[in-house]
Structure 1
Amino acid sequence: MSKPALTSISVQRTGPGPLSPDATQYMVRMRDGVRLATDVYLPATPEPGPTILTRLPYDKCGEYTFMPQIAAYFTARGYRMVVQDVRGKFRSEGETLLFVNEAYDGYDTLDWVINQPWSDGTVGMWGDSYYGYTQWAAASTGHRALKAMVPRVTGTRLGELPAPVPGQRTHDVEMSVHRFYPLSMFHDRDILDWQIDWTRRPLAAQVEEFFTAVGSRSASYDLWFPYPVGLRRFPAGSPFDAPAVPVLMTIGWWDNCAPWQWSDHRELQRRPAWAHNEYLLLEAIDHENTSHFAPGRPATVDETADRYLGPAVEFFDVFLRGHDADIPRVRWQLANSGDAALRAAGVWPLPSSYEMSWRPTLSAASTGILVPAAPGAPATGSGVVTWIHDAADPVPSPVADAFAFLREFPDERGLAGRADVLVFTAEPVTGPLDLAGPIRLDAVVGSDGPEMDVFVRLADVAPDGTARLIARGQQTILVPGDAFAVTIDLGHTGYRLPAGHALRLTVASSDAPEFVPAPGTGEHRWLAVKTIPNRQRLHLADTILTCTVLPD
């Protein structure tokens, strides 16, 4: 392989922010002697009481996570709050390494907390994303002090690289952030902001240029590239095998990490003790907490505090303080309804819900349409539609930042005009149609390439042609051949399709750069130098879209 010419890579380094005057920092010793930087915020009352613990890699003092404001919210309600930089990040000592130290570091931090004079021995954990994952890591150790947790927009498999399962021919599509995260957030103690040119191959060569520019390598990246070492996220055992802890799971309808959390939900429901202790908060938000009811801009913590933190306080009041309050098992929002209120239910999906199905087909004019079909009805008609996947000209991702999807919430009608996107649109509904629950596409697909990515999007098409995303899902198929049956999970939603609007299904083979496009050669996506177009196919008669809906 010829070595590409070295290009200039610009790197912006962000170190720790100033210590909060409202906190006292301690260097808390772990069992191996490494000390972790830990801020303690105390309420006005001096007597011992329950504590909220957050362990995060994004700087306990930084502007991005606004921990001082969050601590002020909790302490004003009588809680002590402890916020810690995880090992190897910002002011904490130790090696910068994803995932593997969080279980026992969490255990040791819990031990430290309950031995402080301001602690009553009761601890809850709270946080988003990676600091939701650190809650599950601590829970896996079975520490007696952990009495409740609130993991938001996260998952026990957060950031896990897709890998073939023996005997299976499908797996998740690789997100660009999978390998980029260890090169930015977990390269060293600071955050390193830089850009990869996703059109310049091989991608791995740019990583080596980055290492040269910063003068160091990323241990996490090297353990994952080109093929991942089996890192033990939970050395004490699976968190689902640990003693059950009351858990409030916050999942966003537009969160790009939601598939991992829905996977956790399914695991919890298989275990009676955990199922008994699980509560769901299903919100119309993206990963960055932007609300569908206020799209277009990032909201400050002061503006969203009651929505963002209020349910956690309510949950902790019950499970840390023993308040006598009835917390619904499920609270959920119906996006696009004009009413942002949380609706209560005993289970999810709702008992009154049922399945509606549509089949993609071609009209007499060869236009893609969705026609109603009875769930489970046998296939009718025939036909195969094809498109060309070309990694050199992939279907573009509709937003610049997939984690903040609702800040842009784009009109996606332009994607429907591409030759490499299949489009099927239903007739407009005559009355509101409320989607509330899981969505899936059962399909038979094929390719002349060695592997095939299938990207499925369900959109709301307004009378003026505007198309907004409702739900999506994607899978990689290994050796698809001419006809391969696959089920694409589009996740769950709570969404009202207004009268006069229509559902639109699109099928494609790329969504770049959010996902690393398949080169068409079967090579490693970060090592491939050339790309080869592949012809993809969808067997219409064997494909059906199924949504969970509510009665009129």
Structure 2
Amino acid sequence: MTDIRPRIEFERMPAAPRSEFAQEHLVRMRDGVRLATDVYLPDGDTTQGATVLVRLPYDKSGDYTFMPEIARYMTARGYRVVVQDVRGKFRSEGEALLFVNEAHDGYDTIEWIIQQSWSNGIVGMWGDSYYGFTQWAAVSTGHPALRAIVPRVTGTDLAQMPLPVPGVPTVDVQMGIMRVYPLIHFLGNDDVNWDMDWSRRPYSQTVEEFFAAVGQRSPSYDLMFPNPVILRRFPAGHPFDAPPVPVLMTIGWWDNCAPWQWADHEEIARRPGWANSEYLLIEAIDHENYRHADAPVAPEHDHAVDAEARARMMPRYLDPALEFFDIFLLGRGRPQDIPRVRWELAGGGADRWRTAESWPPPETRRTTLYPSAGMLSAQEQPESQWVSWVHDPDDPVPSAIPNAFAFLHSYPDERATADRADVLTFTAPAADAPLDLVGPVAFQATIASDGPEMDLFLRLLDVAPDGSAHLIARGQTTLLTATTPTQVTVNLGHTGYRLRAGHRLRLTVASSDAPEYVVAPGTGADRWSAVETVRNRQRLLLGGLDGAHLTLSVSTDS
């Protein structure tokens, strides 16, 4: 019998050559596993000094994170820099397993650092995404040598898969990219370049074919499916239960992982010790550090491929962290010299920086807009009516770009989405004057479906006079029992965005965003193993007391 299954194409990405500027060590953890660790020292400096530690799964010598260049930038400021492949990745020993070993491995690495002749016993940590998470894992252990951290575009619940909570009618939508992440980054020592085929169900079978092709399984994936295990990320206790350390939180307006970091900020605000230790740096960037001011990104401005662009990026990328470390690791300056909040107002022709004592800034007010008959207006509609659309799992609303982590690289024009029959579109009148949206954005509505569950995707867009539409903020949720009309609140995150005069706000409503989010099959079956699909009619209530409304935060200091 002829095998008609598509051939699985993949590419292994092994460790890059070691950096000529680093001395590599194999640092022994408490269970005997040795982690490959590069040490960068300031040129000609043989004295003891403070150390910046980075623990990451993306190859300490590789081009993707360009750690040798970052380390050289930091050592030029007098810091000792230690960069480590986490357990099971690239040159490190052990099993590649998401999240579960980072707390104790972080503690043991810090303990090794402070015993070295070049260390003065003071350590800070820096890094993006997963190597932001490893900072929080180390904090959870309470090591006294860890004096400050700079977690960027990350979160303590980073990549957490949604699980139902009794009595709560909604849950986060499953992110497809987080399902695939353990396959390409935590399969084994090497990374694997592979594109998931989302056109075939069940998705789980495609993954099994991938495992057969590469000849190994991902232990992290097997903990996720078919019987999900809640990973013990912080065996020593949650980071926010540990003694507070100064933290500079960098959040991106267009970062697809920002909801996890905003959740951390909200939890920190409830804990006085941590709240007094937190500083916010909110940038007009996406997860890959592309800037809104450069979007769409030309090749000469692309730090991923152009060395000169990367060199130009370094001060913006690293100086805020080094200024933070200068104060909290070296004692140069005072904590009050750093604004509690630095945030970037995007749009309006030129992105610009502002400061505040708190977030959102006190000079903001809440305003409400109501969708009705294709319009988005400040006028509340007294009479209620249901509007509907059909969710077709076999023809989902496509995601704006293939790589959500690098959203601003292409910063797509989304005007065509409004023409789809399965997307509701509500557009406001043109703004008479510039309007600064500063702070949280939320949507409240009553929704229902003739299917057992319902996904709701919302996108707030800036529509220019030429009709082009670009994303400002977005949010999504899954209603678990959708046959009964239920009021839901969807958090669209936070924004700092200037809507120019003559531009219009647009809200789109849909039930899919594929493949960034795993498409609901319409049957209520597990999305990853479902084979059958059914179309569902989705409903949204407009007008009346329980009708849909969008709440924005608007600056009064424009």
Give the alignment's TM-score, normalised by structure 2.
0.96
- 1:124·1:147 contact (CA, 8 Å) conserved in 2? yes
CA distance in 2 between partners of 1:339 and 1:415 (Å): 27
Are 1:54 and 2:54 counterparts? yes
Percent of residue pairs identical: 61
Matches within 5 A, 1:106-125: 106-125=106-125
CA distance in 1 between partners of 2:326 and 2:109 (Å): 22
**Aligned-pair distance for 1:216?**
1.0
Are 1:331 and 2:342 counterparts? yes
- 1:103·1:236 contact (CA, 8 Å) conserved in 2? yes
Aligned counterpart, 2:221: 221
Are 1:485 and 2:497 counterparts? no
Aligned counterpart, 1:263: 263
CA distance in 2 between partners of 1:339 and 1:448 (Å): 46
- What secondary structure is seen at the aligned counterpart in 1 of 2:347? coil
CA distance in 1 between partners of 2:125 and 2:350 (Å): 30
Aligned counterpart, 1:308: 317
Aligned counterpart, 1:369: 375
CA distance in 1 between partners of 2:516 and 2:179 (Å): 12
* Selected match of 1:413 from 396, 412, 415: 415
**Aligned-pair distance for 1:4?**
9.0
- What secondary structure is seen at the aligned counterpart in 2 of 1:304? helix
Are 1:286 and 2:286 counterparts? yes
Amino acid paired to 1:395: V
Give the alignment's TM-score, normalised by structure 1.
0.97
- What secondary structure is seen at the aligned counterpart in 1 of 2:293? coil
* Selected match of 1:354 from 365, 384, 395: 365
- What secondary structure is seen at the aligned counterpart in 2 of 1:217? coil
**Aligned-pair distance for 1:246?**
0.3
Amino acid paired to 2:382: T
Matches within 5 A, 1:138-157: 138-157=138-157
Q: Which runs of 5+ in 2 are unaligned?
A: 304-308
Deviation string 1:399-421 (CA, Å, 9 cap, x unpaired) is 11100000010110000000000
CA distance in 1 between partners of 2:349 and 2:417 (Å): 27
- What secondary structure is seen at the aligned counterpart in 1 of 2:323? helix
CA distance in 2 between partners of 1:342 and 1:429 (Å): 23
Matches within 5 A, 1:91-490: 91-297=91-297, 298-299=302-303, 300-325=309-334, 326-362=337-373, 368-373=374-379, 380-490=382-492
CA distance in 2 between partners of 1:253 and 1:320 (Å): 28
- 1:245·1:274 contact (CA, 8 Å) conserved in 2? yes
**Aligned-pair distance for 1:482?**
4.0
CA distance in 2 between partners of 1:397 and 1:481 (Å): 26
Aligned counterpart, 2:306: none
- 2:443·2:548 contact (CA, 8 Å) conserved in 1? yes
CA distance in 2 between partners of 1:536 and 1:380 (Å): 22
CA gap of 1:390–1:4, structure 2 versus 1, over 3 A, is farther
**Aligned-pair distance for 1:338?**
3.3
CA distance in 1 between partners of 2:324 and 2:349 (Å): 26
Aligned counterpart, 1:38: 37
CA distance in 1 between partners of 2:262 and 2:552 (Å): 16
- 2:404·2:516 contact (CA, 8 Å) conserved in 1? yes
CA distance in 2 between partners of 1:250 and 1:60 (Å): 21
* Selected match of 1:514 from 505, 516, 525: 516
Count, aligned residues: 541
**Aligned-pair distance for 1:131?**
0.2
- 2:346·2:352 contact (CA, 8 Å) conserved in 1? no
Amino acid paired to 2:553: T
**Aligned-pair distance for 1:46?**
1.3
Bigger drift between 276-285 and 474-483 goes to 474-483
Are 1:527 and 2:536 counterparts? no
Deviation string 1:263-304 (CA, Å, 9 cap, x unpaired) is 000111110000000000000000000000111233243121
